[in-house]
Amino acid sequence: MGRAPCCEKMGMKRGPWTPEEDQILINYIHLYGHSNWRALPKHAGLLRCGKSCRLRWINYLRPDIKRGNFTPQEEETIINLHESLGNRWSAIAAKLPGRTDNEIKNVWHTHLKKRVNKKQNNGGDTKDINGINETTTHDEDKESMIVETTSPQQFSNSISTFDISNDNNNDIMSYEDISALVDESFWSDFVSVDNSNHKEKKIEEDWEGLLDRNIKINSYNNSELYDDDMEFWFELFTSNRRIEEFSDIPDC
């Protein structure tokens, strides 16, 4: 079994994803699904390896991702499942809808592990794992009691991810705005569709057409890349609506 060559390929972009890349990936998966991650970036016109695209989609762009802090119940579930499953993060994630293995792994390493260790070292003190009857005064644990709120860290990450540099420009869309725009009804129409039978050639032609449009939309003023977000998204979605018609092509 040979190991697949991947990101070391020349010209592959690495590091944080830009909003444009995100949108290209979202739209491509919207239209054609993700039956072949390796071929996806090439067809979509992304300078990323398939692995990177898959990770970005699974850990961040997927429509069913639940953002916000873990609830005490979720934390309890993670602790319990970790006790029985060990570091099988994907198995644990399967029991927590909307949570990714990566996210669970991070939460475990950042505070749940410490909490469990502390508990073990103290020989199991009065602290209740589910967080409801906690007697601890640690800030870290207090934080975990805040249910379904956006943590400062997550907020800042959203900002960094979307690179919103102008604080005063209210027209710029935040991640939350985009999430609201790209709501469940948006996703439900296409994500589950298996488009693997579409002919690759057709995909390339259709997609390149969309890409050209989007590049044109974006390229007219690169120095103020995000000032025209509303127009960008509007154009993008209206383009999609037209190109979506291609999805009616009968399966081969």
Partner DNA sequence: AACATGGTCAACCGCTAGTTA
Partner DNA sequence: ATAACTAGCGGTTGACCATGT
Interacting residues toward DNA by CB under 7 A: 1-4, 6-8, 13-17, 35-39, 48, 50-52, 54-56, 59-60, 87-91, 101-103, 105-107, 109-111, 140, 143, 151-154, 156-157, 159-161
The residue among 167 and 248 lying less far from DNA, judged by its C-beta, is: 167
Smaller CB separation from DNA, 50 or 214:
50
Cβ at position 238, least distance to DNA in Å: 27
Nearest distance from residue 207's CB to DNA, in Å?
17
Half-sphere exposure of 19 toward its Cβ, with a 13 Å CA cutoff? 26
Smallest distance, Å, CB 36 to DNA? 4
Contact residues for 231 (Cβ-Cβ < 8 A; gap 6+): 217
Token pair, residue 184, equals 């469940």
With respect to DNA, which residue has the nearer C-beta, 67 or 213?
67
Q: Closest distance between DNA and the C-beta of residue 154, in Å?
A: 5
The answer to whether the beta carbons of residues 30 and 239 sit under 8 Å apart is no
Distant-in-sequence contacts of 16-21, Cβ < 8 A, 24+ apart: 16/160, 16/161, 17/48, 17/56, 17/60, 17/161, 18/163, 19/161, 19/162, 19/163, 19/226, 20/214, 20/218, 21/46, 21/48, 21/56
* Minimum distance from residue 230 beta carbon to DNA (Å): 23
d(C-alpha 12, C-alpha 30), whole Å: 23
Least Å from the CB of residue 103 to DNA = 5
Q: How far apart are CA 223 and CA 35, in angstroms?
A: 36
Closer residue to DNA in complex, CB, 111/213: 111
Distance between CA 82 and CA 161 in Å, rounded?
30
The DSSP letter of residue 178 is H
Beta carbon nearer to DNA, 15 or 123: 15
Which of 2/123 has CB closer to DNA?
2
